Structure 1
Amino acid sequence: MARIRNKKKKPFVKPIIKMQSSVDHITGDKIPNSFVFSRGKLPGPLRQLQVDLRKLMLPFTALKLKEKRRNNLKDFLNVSGPMGVTHFLILSKTDTAPYLRVARTPQGPTLTFKINEYSLAADIAQSQLRPRCPKDLFKNSPLIVLSGFGTGEQHLKLTTIMFQNIFPAIDVNTVNLSSCKRIVLLNYNKETKLIDFRHFSIRLQPVDVSRRIRKFVQNHQVPDLRNLQDVSDFVTKAGYGSESEADDEAATVSLATDLGRVNRASNKSAVKLQEIGPRMTLQLIKVEEGLCSGGVIFNEYGNHVSSKNKKINDEKQENEEDKDGEQEHEEDEEEEQDDVEED
């Protein structure tokens, strides 16, 4: 019996996975990419924190990175080279506290932070009356703002450089304002030595425009005028917003170009920040030269030990000086006694 072949059947072709470009087509600089993974077993909340950190690092991170227990740090390092990964964010948990390590590949340095407190993105959204998270919010990388790190200490300088390089740099002259939709704020407190890590969404709102007109232009929907006698009632009824939305001169900016249908360069716009999480309170514990190894540049607890040892050494030195002084005094007395006997 003859075998009939299906001529319409097409051969299987393995799809080609296109990697995202690792070089900025405008500035020509290398775009940093990151891996966010964990070492050891994490509880449920820390697992969710890992997911939130991956969303925060979008679009230049592996959102669906699969990790197994048998994977070690060398496995991730071997994959990072061909994929252009420049930074590792590693979560871990001990009996005392969770930790976050931020490392530069392939040779370090590595910064180890103790997570004193943290809140998930879902917790922050649940605490807000009107949480806001548009679909295209994570399409572009966030801006980075550092505050309080300019104290001149070496470990704080390394922290500043690390966080500045973990996100793509922007050119003020060529940046597209529509791509600036998120911001990461890091504030260092000199007294407590803690770092407040916050993640916000940026929203521009035109000044001196009524709320109804603004929503009408943004939503592209025909308003309901059934209960109104004139169109002017629709404009004047809502006023210019509630007292909580009062315009602050310090928060108003003049745009260089038009942004959307509402925010125009000819008018002033108010900058609104809304927290989207995650939120963390970090404490810098250790700075290592290599990738999770090498010489220790800074150790928060080691400094206290060094100070204690220095104090002990100073006390020993003072005791030795006192003993030497007493010995010299005794020798002087013996020489005087010998002189008296000779006389």
Structure 2
Amino acid sequence: MAKRRTKNRTHVPVENDKNTNIPKSICIRLGSLAMKNKSLKQLTHDFRLILSPHTAIRLKELNKNKLKDFIVMCSPLNVTHLFTFTQSDNNENDIYLKLGKLHNGPTITFKVNEYSLIKDVNRFKHKSINTHSLIFQEPPLLVINGFKNDIPQEKIIISLFQNIYPPINPMQKKIEDIKRVLLVNKLEDGTVEVRHYMIVIKDLINKEDIKAKNIDKLLKLKKDDRRTIPNLKKKKDISSLVLEDLGYMTSDNESDIEEEQIIKQEEEIKQELEAEIEVKQDEDDEEASFKKQKLNDGSFKKQSNSNKKAIKLQEIGPRLSLSLLKIESDLFKGETLFHSYIKKSSKEIQELQKKHDEKVKLKEQRKKEQEANLLRKKEAKEDKKRRKDERRQLKKEQQQQQEENDDANSEDKGKSVSEDESSSEEEYADIPEDIDSDLLSEIDENPSDDE
């Protein structure tokens, strides 16, 4: 018989996740209004790109799905963080973002003041970012600014955001693998801004190279019908146009260094060379004079700038402006640790704490009762099973005994039959065996007498 074919493309065996220590996250929408909002759907998808690669990018929510369904699903998938976008029923413009740490909290609730999608950010660029690029295969570098560890609520926010991504080991992590940056910045008014950037690394461009590059671009404008000659009304001289960076004629991927930065680097290099010349001035006058001549000619600029790199952050999106609303002790429930709108006195806080302790005590009592009931039902079930097994064993023994009795009766019956046969043989032992044959022979010998 031929071996059955296995489908390798669709029937891939499920492998156990070895990296269980890596934080994983899920971003979803909840509520009927949120499921109908297409803009919020795109924001959820864009926010998943921020959390990539350790997140469910292709997860699809349904209207019948509840929060409990996702919480139950997070346990076997080793998910550590859950993000939810909800929309208020009273005001459709109110959108909330909740960040919960599985499985025991805490939970932070933010109000989304403003947001911009990836397509909105790319609309103001000359070249858009491919969302399916290789830059999303590695987690971004997290930068947190403006928060203080002295404030309890800000300390909770810092700890939650830091645990979203796996920690970076500087000894093993390669700099080339870091392609993105996530900035979480707190402003003076308490607003939290979330920005997502891509890291662009270019070689340092010399000041003379910038001039030559700008002149070449001005000459190429004649052949390019899509671009026009820049407006010179605000320029006093053509040199101001050539010396400045023509940002409107360059794409966002071309990162030119500003003139002030180049001058600053040149001054640092000059100071280093001057210090080196002063040290070796007494030892070798010819070498010192040669270095002074190079310093005055500026021939060191190309050598110094050739090995330097320029780093630029290019925004990818989405862009979020958040306001902290409240912090809860448990996962999407529990005691309110902080609330931005509602302020409680010390007496009210004590009363709430007392009620919370009573609820926790009642919950523990019910849990113990439930465990006792389960144990009692389990013991009753085991007792019933034991009695059933005993009845089965007893019935089996009775059947075996019955079979043995039947076998014994059959043997006794066989013996009685054999004894009856032997007794009958003894009774007819005197009768000759050929008595019938003798009678028949006598009849055959005298047939004429009968006639």
Q: Distance in 1 between matches of 2:16 and 2:57?
A: 14
Among candidates 137, 140, 164, match of residue 138 of structure 2: 140
User: Over alpha carbons, which structure has the higher Rg?
Assistant: 2
* Corresponding position of 1:153: 151
Instruction: For 2:245, give the aligned amino acid.
Output: S
Among candidates 5, 8, 16, match of residue 10 of structure 1: 5
Which structure features the higher share of helix residues? 2
Q: Distance in 2 between matches of 1:165 and 1:240?
A: 46
* Corresponding position of 2:232: none
* Corresponding position of 1:334: none
Q: Distance in 2 between matches of 1:306 and 1:129?
A: 55
Secondary structure class of the residue paired with 2:155: helix
Among candidates 157, 164, 167, match of residue 166 of structure 1: 164
Q: Distance in 2 between matches of 1:18 and 1:129?
A: 43
Matched, 1:65 2:68: no
Q: Deviations over 1:120-142 (max 9, x none)?
A: 01110111123344721111111
Deviation, structure 1 residue 241: 9.0
Secondary structure class of the residue paired with 1:83: coil
Q: Distance in 2 between matches of 1:79 and 1:108?
A: 16
Instruction: For 1:73, give the aligned amino acid.
Output: L
* Corresponding position of 1:208: 205
Which structure features the higher share of strand residues? 1
What TM-score, normalized by structure 1, do the two folds share? Answer: 0.68
Unmatched 5+ residue regions in structure 2? 214-222, 224-241, 248-255, 266-304, 350-451
Instruction: For 1:294, give the aligned amino acid.
Output: G
Matched, 1:246 2:257: yes
Secondary structure class of the residue paired with 1:82: coil
Q: Distance in 2 between matches of 1:146 and 1:89?
A: 19
Question: In structure 2, do the counterparts of structure 1 residues 136 and 19 end up closer, same or farther at CA, with 3 Å as the change threshold?
Answer: farther
Q: Deviations over 1:48-72 (max 9, x none)?
A: 0000011211110011112222222
Instruction: For 1:76, give the aligned amino acid.
Output: F
Q: Distance in 2 between matches of 1:242 and 1:120?
A: 29
Aligned length: 263
Matched, 1:279 2:273: no
Deviation, structure 1 residue 39: 1.1
Q: Percent identity?
A: 31
* Corresponding position of 2:44: 50
Contact 1:201–1:273 (Cα < 8 Å) also in 2: yes
Deviation, structure 1 residue 84: 1.1
Among candidates 59, 71, 74, match of residue 77 of structure 1: 71
Deviation, structure 1 residue 80: 1.1
Secondary structure class of the residue paired with 2:47: helix
Contact 2:257–2:310 (Cα < 8 Å) also in 1: no
Secondary structure class of the residue paired with 1:156: helix
* Corresponding position of 2:376: none
* Corresponding position of 2:229: none
Q: Distance in 2 between matches of 1:57 and 1:240?
A: 41
Question: In structure 2, do the counterparts of structure 1 residues 294 and 11 end up closer, same or farther at CA, with 3 Å as the change threshold?
Answer: same
Deviation, structure 1 residue 297: 0.5
Among candidates 309, 318, 323, match of residue 269 of structure 1: 309
Contact 1:101–1:113 (Cα < 8 Å) also in 2: yes
Unmatched 5+ residue regions in structure 1? 24-29, 215-226, 228-238, 253-264, 311-343
Instruction: For 2:128, give the aligned amino acid.
Output: P
Q: Distance in 2 between matches of 1:107 and 1:204?
A: 41
Q: Distance in 2 between matches of 1:151 and 1:157?
A: 5
Q: Distance in 1 between matches of 2:60 and 2:41?
A: 13
Matched, 1:31 2:22: yes
Contact 1:22–1:32 (Cα < 8 Å) also in 2: no
